Amino acid sequence: MLKLYFSPSTSSLATHIALIEAGAAFELVPRLLSRQETRSAEYLALNPDGKVPALVTAGGNVLTEVAATLYYIARSHPAAGLWPEGDLEAEAQVISWMSFAASSMHGSRAKGPEAVAAAFDVANRKLGSREWAIGRFTIADIHLFRVYWRFRPGIEAPIGTYPALEAHHDRMLKRPAVQKALEAEKAYE
């Protein structure tokens, strides 16, 4: 069984959502940031970077970085259709979106609210009129949603500033897997 080391409402939420979307069998292992549990010797032995998520795969390997965990889950559960297998252009677009979410979007927080707003503006324009990041639902949407959902309350922008992102966010919140993951993580806050 897959094992997800997580802390509620953090980057690991994306992996948690993907596991549920995929219908994977998994165990949740809390390592709370609020208690600095990711800084323990035990956790650092698992992930020297001291960050969540960390996913223990079916092969017993520890996988870190949101994008890698989402890729692993999507590819190991093909029936869920979270990865556009065999469509090279679409596969590359998913990687492009996840790289953007992990670097430009997630990385913007350390630079302050103006940088977050600038990254949101780019994401909003990239998304445009599409319902999902690459046109159909994939792991790119899970990654994009998690970063926007978490960082949006930290910036002062009236409703309507990022219409495409806001609509994407609302669409994601309607997904049972997203609701289930958010509900499950509440118990650890």
Ligand X SMILES: N[C@@H](CCC(=O)N[C@@H](CS)C(=O)NCC(=O)O)C(=O)O
Q: Which is nearer to ligand X, 21 or 65 (CB)?
A: 65
Among residues 32 and 167, whose Cβ is nearest to ligand X? 32
H-helix segments, 34-187? 41-46, 66-76, 88-100, 106-108, 113-127, 139-151, 163-173, 176-186
Min separation Cβ 46 and ligand X, Å: 12
Distance separating alpha carbons of residues 22 and 20, to the nearest angstrom: 5
CA distance 173 to 20: 14
For the CB of residue 40, give the shortest distance to ligand X in the complex, in Å.
Answer: 11
Nearest to 30, CA basis, from 47, 14, 7, 50: 7
> Please, which residue, 38 or 138, has the CB nearer to ligand X?
38
Report d(CA 74, CA 98) in Å as an integer. Answer: 13
Nearest-approach distance from CB 18 to ligand X, in angstroms:
13
Residue closest to ligand X when measured from CB atoms:
51
Q: Nearest approach, Cβ of 33 to ligand X (angstroms)?
A: 5
Q: Which is nearer to ligand X, 43 or 83 (CB)?
A: 43
Q: Give 53 or 84: the residue with its C-beta nearer to ligand X.
A: 53
Binding residues vs ligand X (CB under 6 A):
10-11, 33, 38, 50-53, 65-66, 102
Residue among 20, 37, 21 at smallest CA distance from 5: 37
Residue for token pair 């698992």: 46
CA gap 103, 163 in Å, rounded? 22
In whole angstroms, the minimum distance from the beta carbon of 126 to ligand X comes to: 19
